[in-house]
Amino acid sequence: MDFFWKQRLILPNKVQEVGKKIRSKNKTIVYTAGAWDMLHVGQVRYLLEAKKLADVLVVGVSSNQTVSTLKGPNRPILDEKIRAEMLSYIRFVDLVTIVPNLSNQPTLKQLKPNFYVTVKEDWNNGYKESPEYKTVTNYGGQVKLVDRQSPFISTTQILKKSASAQLNEILKDFMSKEKPLGDKSR
């Protein structure tokens, strides 16, 4: 199994070479990236929407260091290699690469995808000012915003729900062992 997913992995220093090879076959490339920590249905639907734009879907996986910097010291939950491997098993994901930078700009400069897809969020309303947008449009590529495919599901929400359920169990157990104030039967 290890062999299969590694065939779909692009090492960061090979991104430019792979991009040229794909384009030399007159195939179009779509690129998107994310943490992909605790993969869920909304993320898979999003990837499917991205794939509809081009022949080859390349998915960037944020490095452990990047995820920790952006989301806090307790993240990611899953190692970057596990996240990359999970994505590689999705039938319509053609290639994955681990992105060592906070920005996707270096990967975009090397890969030169026809389309760069990102999720439409309130925080990226000014995306046309981003280095990623400028990089992609400078070489003639397009940036596409895709709506969240499951607005009520996110990795953060899943983690909060799980933590809340665990805390409720701990409190229930604690409360069942507590005696009322003044009860000396301990």
Burial class, 129, CB count within 10 angstroms (exposed 0-12 / middle 13-18 / buried 19+): exposed
User: What pTM was computed for the model?
Assistant: 0.82
The residue-averaged pLDDT of 84-113 equals: 97
Domain 2-149 CATH (choose: 3.40.50.620, 3.30.930.10, 3.40.50.720, 3.90.1330.10)? 3.40.50.620
The number of beta carbons lying within 10 Å of the beta carbon of residue 15 is 23
One-letter-per-residue 3-state SS of the chain? CHHHHHHCEECHHHHHHHHHHHHHCCCCEEEEEECCCCCCHHHHHHHHHHHCCCCEEEEEEECHHHHHHHHCCCCCCCCHHHHHHHHHCCCCCCEEEEECCCCCHHHHHHHCCCEEEEECCHHHCCHHHCHHHHHHHHCCCEEEEECCCCCCCCHHHHHHHHHHHHHHHHHHHHHHHCCCCCCCCC
Domain boundaries, the chain: 2-149
pLDDT in tens, 108-146: 999 999 999 998 766 567 788 889 999 999 999 999 998
Q: Would you place residue 169 in the very low, low, confident or very high pLDDT band (cuts 50, 70, 90)? A: low
Most confident stretch, 97-101, 151-155, 157-161: 97-101
* pLDDT on residue 128: 84
**6 compared with 168, residue with greater pLDDT:** 6
Structure tokens at 140: 């003639």
Specify the higher pLDDT residue, 119 or 78.
78
Q: In 10 A of CB 20, how many CB atoms?
A: 12
Question: What is the distance between the alpha carbons of residues 46 and 104, in angstroms, rounded to a whole number?
Answer: 18
Cα(32)–Cα(132) distance, integer angstroms:
11
Using a pLDDT cut of 90, give the percent of the chain over it: 62
Query: Rounded to an integer, what distance in angstroms lies between the CA atom of residue 127 and that of residue 121?
Result: 10
> Looking at per-residue confidence, does 4 or 156 come out higher?
4
pLDDT at position 164 is 59
